[in-house]
Structure 1
Amino acid sequence: MGKILLTGATGNVGKHVATHLAESGLEVRALVRDPSRARLPDGVEVVQGDLTAPETLHPALKDVETVFLVWPGFAAETAADVVEAIAGQARRVVYLSADVADLQEGEQATIFHQDVERLIRRSGLTWTFLRPCGFATNTLGWAGQIRQGLVRWPYGEASRSLIHEKDIAAVAAHVLTSAGHGGAAYVLSGPERLTQAEQARVIGEVVGREVRWEDLPPEVAREELLAAWGDPAFVDGALRGWASFVTEPEKVTDTVRTLLGRPALTFRQWAEDHADDFR
């Protein structure tokens, strides 16, 4: 198997992908903005580069056969140049996309992933798309409120099938190291649905603290999110997405079990892995 280039190798998913591949003894190179700050497993070659500066990709792509592509944010300005650079030197790409059939964390993010997928389909590369539903790690945003015992957030009855980042990474490593995935678009989810209020309760149980939920009016939440995120389109898309999961719960798929031969990790298992983040 040829060399694999990882982008996003220091992120929530990428760091686990790097560990899986390093433990397999494969040739792995990680593209990072600041090599001096990267903490990656032994055996992973670290090179400097940035997807927002496509010209930095060419040295990193030398002798690379497969690229694991994770985008830093949702700015599409350099997407075409990045895909062109990959197609010029590699043969295969595994793209961490999103469940683009549904509105996830905002319309802007969804449209971005659709655009990148379209570029990849037209590139001539052999491709596989990983399309996770909601990330369990997004609930880390409640950490301060969890410590106070009260989560105030909109749409407590929104029902989500949040996935553990370790499952996304395990699927990515499997796809990167095995044949038969060309042209596949895998929708990944956790094994169950929980409402947002239930998620907060589970986290509280894991850390040994009673956590109450209070629905924040959407108009109040919008003002707070605008102050935090800044982008009105992103905020409005997120609010619409959460509202939609009240009446149309997020899908649950069996893809993790099918690909890995084991069930997906539960939200409670995720909370146990991250308990120190909420204490």
Structure 2
Amino acid sequence: MSDTITITGATGEIGGRTLHMLHEAGANVRAVARRSEQVSHFASEGIDAALATLDDVESLTKAFQGTDQVMLVTAASPKQSVHGRNVVLAARAAGVRAITHLSTADANPESDIPWARAPWHTDQLVQLSGMEWTILRPSAFMQNLTEFAAPIKRGFFPQTTQRGCVAWTDAADIARVATTLLRKGVHTGAEPIITGPELLTSAQIAGTFSKVLGRRVRYVHLPSRVFAGVIRLGGADAWTAEGLRHQFARVVRKGLDHANVQTNDVQEITGRPATTLEAWVTANKEHFTTR
């Protein structure tokens, strides 16, 4: 068995960041890509890549051959639980030693949020797989705040959370945690909850934007169905808008399913503190500034 680490979702936010961090650190990494041009792109970067789709266990099993660890990353979609199952089945068939699943802090089989429900089912399969495992449970990504760039440019932050709070997390911190654990390669059933360093209400988020941008950004509370309509107007489909409505109006607003949990796991695992929202907005001001 080699020491290869294979990553699904390698073209996405967390999977891609982790892949490149590992590669830059000198680890043997392999990306799973579903299009030949993606394989070619990784090759141009000096990164091994295998052509496979999360819909096909056979192609995944081939992609995982010679792999010591798999990082399982699935995108939010109606097929997310099927994709998670397929990765676990393929990893077992390929003789993979250990699997790290990028789950979510609010995983719950009864959740009205599809991308909280699906990871829970994958978590169970990972735990019962017979492989060594780690499950990562991040909170909401700061990067998703760019979806609100247009209204923030106009001076308001529309949300439906009321006084609910979240310890928003920089995707780079999640990737740093994953990279650290995969480089160590020791998996003992840990389930770190990865959060930012501060619990913030939507009003406090708006205040942070005001401070960094040097102009007033105010929180505007919307009824949940109006919020979903705004999301649709922004280009999201009905499935996504309805999931976000439940996520923010029910789970975050009421503090359910670990939505209002804050931990120091980022610093404890990586040795570096988690990124504050103020630092993240400062580094990404161009998204929220009219040119």
TM-score between the two structures when normalised by the length of structure 2 = 0.86
Q: Percent identity of the aligned residues? A: 28
Counterparts of 1:52-63 in structure 2 under 5 Å?
52-63=55-66
One of 261, 270, 277 as aligned partner of 1:267: 277
Deviation at 1:175, TM superposition (A): 0.6
Q: Secondary structure of the equivalent of 1:185?
A: coil
Counterpart code for 2:271:
G
Q: Secondary structure of the equivalent of 1:13?
A: helix
Deviation at 1:189, TM superposition (A): 0.6
Residues 196, 31 of structure 1: CA spacing in aligned structure 2 closer, same or farther, 3 A cutoff?
Answer: same
Verify the 8 A CA contact 2:14 2:174 in the aligned structure 1.
Answer: yes
**Residues 131-186 of structure 1, C-alpha deviations (whole Å, 9 max, x = no match):** 01121122111111111112222124321101111110000001101144321111
CA distance in 1, matches of 2:71, 2:259: 30
CA distance in 1, matches of 2:52, 2:66: 16
Q: Secondary structure of the equivalent of 2:86?
A: helix
CA distance in 2, matches of 1:79, 1:13: 16
Structure 1 spans left out of the alignment, 5+ residues = none
One of 227, 238, 241 as aligned partner of 1:230: 238
Residue aligning to 1:242: 252
Q: Does 1:67 align with 2:70?
A: yes
One of 72, 81, 84 as aligned partner of 1:79: 84
Paired residues, number: 277
Structure 2 spans left out of the alignment, 5+ residues = none
Residue aligning to 2:288: 278
CA distance in 2, matches of 1:148, 1:233: 25
Residue aligning to 1:17: 18
- Output the aligned Cα RMSD: 2.5
Q: Does 1:252 align with 2:262?
A: yes
Residues 156, 275 of structure 1: CA spacing in aligned structure 2 closer, same or farther, 3 A cutoff?
Answer: farther
Q: Secondary structure of the equivalent of 2:82?
A: coil
Deviation at 1:53, TM superposition (A): 2.8
Counterpart code for 2:125:
L
Counterparts of 1:72-221 in structure 2 under 5 Å?
72-74=75-77, 75=79, 76-89=81-94, 90-100=96-106, 106-221=112-227
Residue aligning to 1:5: 6
Q: Secondary structure of the equivalent of 2:12?
A: coil
Deviation at 1:128, TM superposition (A): 0.3
CA distance in 2, matches of 1:77, 1:37: 23
Verify the 8 A CA contact 1:108 1:233 in the aligned structure 2.
Answer: no
